Amino acid sequence: MKNLSFEPFSAYLEELSYTKSRFDVFDDFLTMMVCSLSMGRKEEEYLRTVKGYTKKELDIFCKAFASVIMQMEYRQLEDPFGDYFEEHLSNGRNGQFFTPIPVCELMANIVHGFNKASEQDAQKTVSDPACGSGRLLLASAKIDRNRYFVGSDISETCCKMTLINMCLNSIEGEVHHMDTLSLQTWRKWMVIIDKFTRIPYIYEVKKESQVLRLCKEDSIMDANIVNDENKTIQRVKQTSNGFIRFTPKVP
């Protein structure tokens, strides 16, 4: 019988970092995870990322992946990546120190109110415009995970940590790789929970610029985002301040 116990994922990444930059290994690991959670839509990016590694190294990545899954299974809504990132990689770049979990939980309780969530609250969006590894969103989801969660960050690595944290905890929403001061946006992903199977997956939004243009030029207030098979996966709304806002669920 196979031994299914795993080391913490950090131990596997450290093993890979003897010969490669620790940052590259971590970032590639996140990319591989995002691709794997994208329902086969990110094969090219996946193959580009794994190219630089031997089969033996890729086996170690697989163990790290399994270790993260096991950890998230037993300890939901925690942030395994944030701690690793802070300890080994951040060096305080771009203020990349993350808020301690108990403080996140206190802040989430203050913002949500200590009362039990009402039905109306489910329509509300929880947003963190400098989300880091997404732990403020996770703290908020501990109170009410039915809201719609939006995280933005100037660092793509942080976006990927947030995306995986959201997806593996079945939290619906979006992650924007953007500068939230200048509003320049580079990439945008959604975490969608399949209506029938309830399986969460990551979808990179590429057609939004077209939707945005359509909304602006034709003063359309509602539009649909379609996937590669032309199926509507989400509706978008133009709000009074000109931003696009994704509605939580396909009606």
User: For residues 102 and 213, what is the distance between their CA atoms, to the nearest angstrom?
Assistant: 42
Do residues 136 and 82 touch, judged by C-beta distance below 8 A? no
User: For residues 134 and 125, what is the distance between their CA atoms, to the nearest angstrom?
Assistant: 14
**Does 130 engage in binding with ligand SAM (CB under 6 A)?**
yes
**Does 118 engage in binding with ligand SAM (CB under 6 A)?**
no
Q: Between 127 and 223, whose beta carbon lies closer to ligand SAM?
A: 127
Q: Between 42 and 135, whose beta carbon lies closer to ligand SAM?
A: 135
Crossing angle of helices 55-74/9-16, nearest 10°?
Answer: 160
Cα distances (angstroms) measured from residue 248 to each of 33, 42, 103, 165: 24, 24, 27, 18
User: For residues 63 and 12, what is the distance between their CA atoms, to the nearest angstrom?
Assistant: 7
Stretch binding ligand SAM (CB under 6 A), from 150-158, 162-170, 191-199, 232-240: 150-158
- Nearest approach in angstroms of CB 137 to ligand SAM is 9
**Does 27 engage in binding with ligand SAM (CB under 6 A)?**
no
**Does 174 engage in binding with ligand SAM (CB under 6 A)?**
no
Q: Which of 6, 46, 53, 97 binds ligand SAM (CB under 6 A)?
A: 97
Stretch binding ligand SAM (CB under 6 A), from 1-9, 17-25, 57-65, 90-98: 90-98
User: For residues 147 and 204, what is the distance between their CA atoms, to the nearest angstrom?
Assistant: 20
**Does 179 engage in binding with ligand SAM (CB under 6 A)?**
yes
Q: Which of 27, 57, 153, 172 binds ligand SAM (CB under 6 A)?
A: 153
- Number of residues in the chain: 251
**Does 246 engage in binding with ligand SAM (CB under 6 A)?**
no
Q: Which of 75, 95, 206, 220 binds ligand SAM (CB under 6 A)?
A: 95
Q: Between 99 and 146, whose beta carbon lies closer to ligand SAM?
A: 99
**Does 140 engage in binding with ligand SAM (CB under 6 A)?**
no
**Does 131 engage in binding with ligand SAM (CB under 6 A)?**
yes
- Nearest approach in angstroms of CB 1 to ligand SAM is 41
Kindly compute the dihedral angle of the four CA atoms of residues 111, 114, 115, 121, in this order, to the nearest 10 degrees.
20
Residue numbers at the binding site for ligand SAM (CB under 6 A):
94-99, 128, 130-132, 135-136, 152-155, 158, 179-181
